[in-house]
Chain A
Amino acid sequence: MLADALLLQLGYNATLVTIGATLLGMAAGVAGTFLFLRKRALVSDAISHATLPGVGLAFMVMVALGGDGRALPGLLLGAGVSAALGLLCVQWLTARTRLGEDAAIGAVLSVFFGFGVVILTVIQTMTAGRQAGLEGFLLGSTAGMLRSDAVLLAVAAALVLALVMLLRRPLELASFDSGYAQAAGWSLARIDLAMMGIVLVVTVVGLKVVGLILIVALLIVPAVTARFWTDRTDHVVLIAGAVGGLSGYAGAALSAVAPALPTGPIIVLVGFALFLVSLLVSPGRGLLASVVMHHRYQRRVHMRQGLLALAQGQPIFEALTRRLLHRAGLILPDGVATATGQAAAAKALLDETRWSIVRMDQSFAAAATRYDGLTPIEDVLTPDQLREVDARIDAPQVVA
C-alpha cells in the first residue's frame, strides 16, 4: 500500500495531491530559506494563523450568496486577504510603535486566530451550508479531496515554485548581503515585499495540505536542515528545496495510506526526521562530525605532547599518549623510543623551537597568529623564511 502510494499508483486524485505537495514543499523550502537567512522565519507563523478568519468569513459570504460554502478557490481567496491584513498589522506594529517584531508576531497570531475561532463557532450554529471540513484547514487533510481541488492545488503549487525560481536571484542577493543588494540598485523594501508575497502564497496554497498551524514548519525546517550541509547561499536554497519536496512527497504519500490522520503533522514529522538525520550525520556541523573532530584533535594534541616529551628525554605516564605512540610504532611497549620515534621527536622539537622564535619576532606577527601547538611550521613559512629562522637557533639540539 505504501509502495503504491510512493510510486503514485493510488489513483488520479492521490497522485495529483502527492505531486502538488511535492511542488509545494519545494517552493516552501526555497522561499523559507530567504526568510530564514533574513532572520524573519517566525513572521510566517503570524501569516498562517491570520488566515483563519478569512477562511471562515469567505465561507459565510459564499453561503450568503447561495453556495454551499465549500468552494476551495473562494476559501483560499479569503485566507489570502486576511493573511495579507495580518502581515500588514505586523509591519505596522513593528514600524510605527515601540513593539518589537516578536511581540507584533505573537499579538497578530493570537488575535487573528482567536477571531477566527469566534467565526468558526458562529458557522457551527448556522443551518445553511456544509460546514464539515473547515477543521481540515487547521491541520491539513487531503483525504477525499475533490478532483478540481487537487488540480487547483497542483497547478498553484507549480506556479508558486516557478515564481520563486524566477525571483531567486534578487532574493538570494538580499538575504546573503543586503548592503550589496542595495548598492547594486535593488530596493530592499521591494525585495522584502516580494518575499513576503511569496510566503503568503505558499501559506495559502498549503492551507489545505499542511494546515495553518503547522505550515510554518514547512518554511523553516527545510532551510534549517539545509544549513547543516553547506555554507553557500545558492546551495542552501537548492538543498532546502529538495528537503521540502521530499517531505511533501513522502508525507502526502504516507497520508494517502492513512486517511484518518491529518496530513500536516505527517509532512512536518517527515521533514523533522530529515532534519534529525542532518543534525546527526552532516559533515562539519553534525553531531557525529563534531565528535569525530574532537577525537581527532585530542589525538593530535596527545601525539605532539608525547613526541616533545620523548625529545626532551622525559618519561611518559599518560596512558592514551603511550597507546597512541605505540600504535604508530614510535615507542616500544616499555616507553623507549624507536628509531622512527626518535626522528619524529627531533622533528617535533625543531618545529617547536622554530615556532618559539617566530612568535617572539614582531616581523613574523602574521605567521605567529597561526600557532596552535599543532600546525607544522612548514605549512606557514616558506623555505627561505625557515632558513632565516634556523640561522637564529643558538645551538642545534641533538637528540641522543
Chain B
Amino acid sequence: MGAEFVALSLPPILIGICVAVACALPGNFLLLRRQALIGDAISHVVLPGIVVAFLLTGVVATGPMLIGAAGAAVVAVVAIEVIRRLGRIEAGAAMGVVFTAMFAGGVLLLERSDTSNVHLDVEHALFGNLESLIWLDATGWGSLVDPASLAGLPVELPRMALALGLVALFLWLFWRPLAMSTFDEGFARGMGLRTGPLGLALVVVSAIAAVAAFDAVGSIIVIAMFICPAAAARMMTNRLDHQVAWSAVFAALSAIVGYVLAGYGPLWIGASASVSAAGMIATVSGLILALAAIAGPHRKAVQ
C-alpha cells in the first residue's frame, strides 16, 4: 500500500466516492418524490448532447460537452412535457419514448461520424473507464502535499469534487423548502414557496451531477447511485436527515468496496486481470440495497 496505491488506486477511489455521493444526495429527494427514474432518463439523453457537441467543436473538451449535455437534457424535458400535454400520455411512457429515441439518435450519430481518433464510443459512455484515471506524477503518500505532483492529478477528480460541493451546497441552502415541498407540496405552496422552480432546480442539480459523473465513470454508476443508496437508506430510518446521511455512507461504501473488489478481488481468487470497476460498484450498491430490503429496520411500507 505505498506509492503504487497512491498513483493507481487512490485517484479512482476518490473520484468514485465523489461521483457516488454527488448522485446519491439528490437521489434521496428524487426517490421520495417518485422521480427515481429521472437519473435513468438523464443518463440516456446526455449521449446525443455530448455527440453533437463533439461534432460541432471537433474536440473532446469538458466545456462544450457539458453545454451539449445540458442542452440535450433541456430538449428532453420539453419534449416529455409536450408529449404528455398534447397526447395526454402518462409521464412514464412519454419519458420512455423520448429517452430511447434520443439515445438511439446519439448512437447512430456516433457510429456515423468519425470518432476513431478520440476517446468517445458507446461502450465508454455506458461503462466509463474509472480504472484509467490514474495519477502518474505520484511517488508516494508524500505527493499528496507536493504542489508539483498535485498538478498532475486527473482533471476528473477536482471536477467531480466541485460537482459534489455544488450539490451539497444546493441541498444545504434549500434544505427546508426542499423537504417541505417533497413531503407536502400543497402545504409548501400554502407557505408561499414556489414549488415548480424548486422542483426544476432539483432536476437541474441532478443533471449537473449526472453529466459531470457521466464523463468520468459512464452511465451505469450514475443510475445506480441515484437510486440504490437512497433506497437502502430509506429502509434504515424515517427521518430525512438521517436518510441522507445513511445514503452518503452507503454510496461511499459502494464506491470503495466496489473498486477494491474489481481491482484486487480477481487477484485474490487467482485470476490475472481486474474487472469493470463501474459495474462492480453498481453491483455492490445493489447488494447493500438487498441487505437493507431484507433486514432494514424500516423496510416495510407504512400501514
Interface residues, chain A, with chain B CB atoms under 8 Å away: 36, 39, 41-42, 45, 93, 96-100, 102-103, 105-107, 109-118, 120-122, 125, 135, 138-139, 213-214, 216-217, 220-221, 223-224, 227-228, 260-262, 264-266, 268-269, 272, 275, 279, 285-287, 290
Contact = CB atoms under 8 A, between A and B. Distances in A.
Nearest to B302: A98
Contacts, number: 199
Interface in B59-110: 83, 86-90, 92-97, 100-101, 103-105, 107-108
B272 to A, nearest CB: 7
Give the interface SS of chain A, mostly helix, strand, loop or mixed.
helix
Main secondary structure of the interface of B (DSSP, over half): helix
Given A111-B282, A118-B279, A139-B107, A98 B301 contact: yes
Contacts of B231: 99, 103, 107
A285 B273 contact: no
B253 interface: no
| 4 nearest A-B pairs in the assembled complex, by CB-CB distance | A114-B282, A111-B286, A117-B279, A217-B100
Interface string B249-283: 00000000000001000100001111110111111
Interface string B23-40: 000000001001111011
Contacts of A135: 123
8 contacts: A42-B93, A97-B301, A98-B234, A103-B36, A115-B283, A117-B276, A120-B276, A264-B107
Contacts of B95: 42
A117 B125 CA distance: 13
A118 B283 contact: yes
Contacts of B170: none
A106 B100 CA distance: 15
Contact of B96 (A41, A116, A287): A41
B224 A224 contact: no
Nearest to B221: A114
Contact of A114 (B92, B274, B280): B280
B241 interface: no
B122 interface: yes
A228 B223 contact: no
Contacts of A96: 293, 299-300
A93 B286 contact: no
B212 interface: no
Contacts of A114: 220-221, 224, 278-283, 286
B289 interface: yes
Interface string B110-139: 011000000000110011000000000000
A42 B273 CA distance: 36
B278 A39 contact: no
A138 B122 contact: yes
Given A42-B96, A98-B234, A103-B231, A115 B104 contact: no
B167 interface: no
Contacts of A275: 97, 101
A121 B129 CA distance: 12
B285 interface: yes
A98 B97 contact: no
B224 A261 contact: no
Contacts of A45: 40, 96
Contact of B86 (A105, A107, A272, A287): A287
Contacts of B272: 125
A184 to B, nearest CB: 25
A217 B300 contact: no
A163 B273 CA distance: 45
Contacts of A98: 234-235, 298-302
Nearest to A225: B97
Contacts of A107: 224, 227-228, 231, 286, 289
A277 to B, nearest CB: 13
Contacts of B275: 118, 121-122
A36 B92 CA distance: 9
B101 A268 contact: yes
Contacts of B266: 122
A333 B278 CA distance: 75
B246 interface: no
Given A110-B220, A114-B279, A285-B87, A97 B100 contact: no
B273 A125 contact: yes
Nearest to A221: B97
A229 B220 CA distance: 36
A23 B143 CA distance: 62
Contact of B108 (A110, A115, A269): A269
A310 B123 CA distance: 71
Nearest to B273: A125
A279 B108 contact: no
A268 B48 CA distance: 15
B88 A102 contact: no
Contact of B97 (A125, A139, A217): A217
A116 B280 CA distance: 9
Contacts of B301: 97-98
A287 B86 CA distance: 7
A260 B116 CA distance: 14
B37 A105 contact: yes
B226 interface: yes
A39 B90 contact: yes
Given A106-B37, A111-B289, A97 B223 contact: no
A106 B108 contact: no
Given A106-B36, A223-B93, 20 more contacts: A42-B95, A97-B235, A97-B293, A98-B235, A98-B301, A106-B39, A106-B223, A111-B224, A113-B220, A114-B220, A114-B224, A114-B286, A118-B279, A122-B271, A138-B123, A220-B96, A220-B100, A260-B111, A269-B104, A279-B86
